[in-house]
């Protein structure tokens, strides 16, 4: 371990100790400023369990790689290059293979 790595480890350890000793002071400061009450009000008013469930469901359902969603019957994919085929035709516009 080089001297520089040792210095980084010591500084990181000191920073961690200082941060851990001041966690309560920082939490008290946030409480005095009203940030905690504001966060609790926002959580109780806007972020209900139903909203979280709906958001997670939408993230799961819309997690595909394509940003633009096209109905399945309007668009096909080329079996060779996976190019999106928006027009009817027998050949792929990107690679020229028969669809």
- Residues lying near Zn ion in the complex (CB under 5 A) are found at 78, 80-81, 83, 92, 94-95
87 contacts: CB under 8 Å, gap ≥ 6: 93
Least Cβ distance, residue 79 to Zn ion (angstroms): 8
Is 11 or 80 the residue whose CB approaches Zn ion more closely? Answer: 80
Cβ at position 73, least distance to Zn ion in Å:
19
Q: Based on CB atoms, which residue is closest to Zn ion, 16 or 77?
A: 77
In angstroms, rounded to a whole number, what is the distance separating the alpha carbons of residues 79 and 98? 9
SS3 content of the chain, % helix, strand, coil (to 5): 55, 5, 40
* Smallest distance from Zn ion to CB 64, Å: 19
Q: Give the nearest distance from C-beta 84 to Zn ion in angstroms.
A: 10
- Assign 98 to helix, strand or coil: strand
Place of tokens 């595909």: 64
């Amino acid at each position: 371990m080089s001297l520089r790595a040792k210095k980084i480890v010591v500084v990181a350890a000191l920073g961690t100790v200082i941060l851990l000793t001041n966690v309560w002071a920082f939490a008290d400061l946030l409480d005095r400023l009203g940030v905690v009450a504001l966060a609790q009000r926002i959580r109780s008013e806007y972020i209900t369990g139903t909203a979280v469930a709906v958001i997670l469901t939408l993230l799961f359902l819309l997690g595909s790689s394509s940003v633009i969603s096209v109905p399945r019957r309007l668009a096909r994919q080329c079996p060779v290059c996976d190019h999106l085929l928006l027009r009817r035709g027998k050949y792929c516009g990107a690679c020229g293979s028969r669809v």
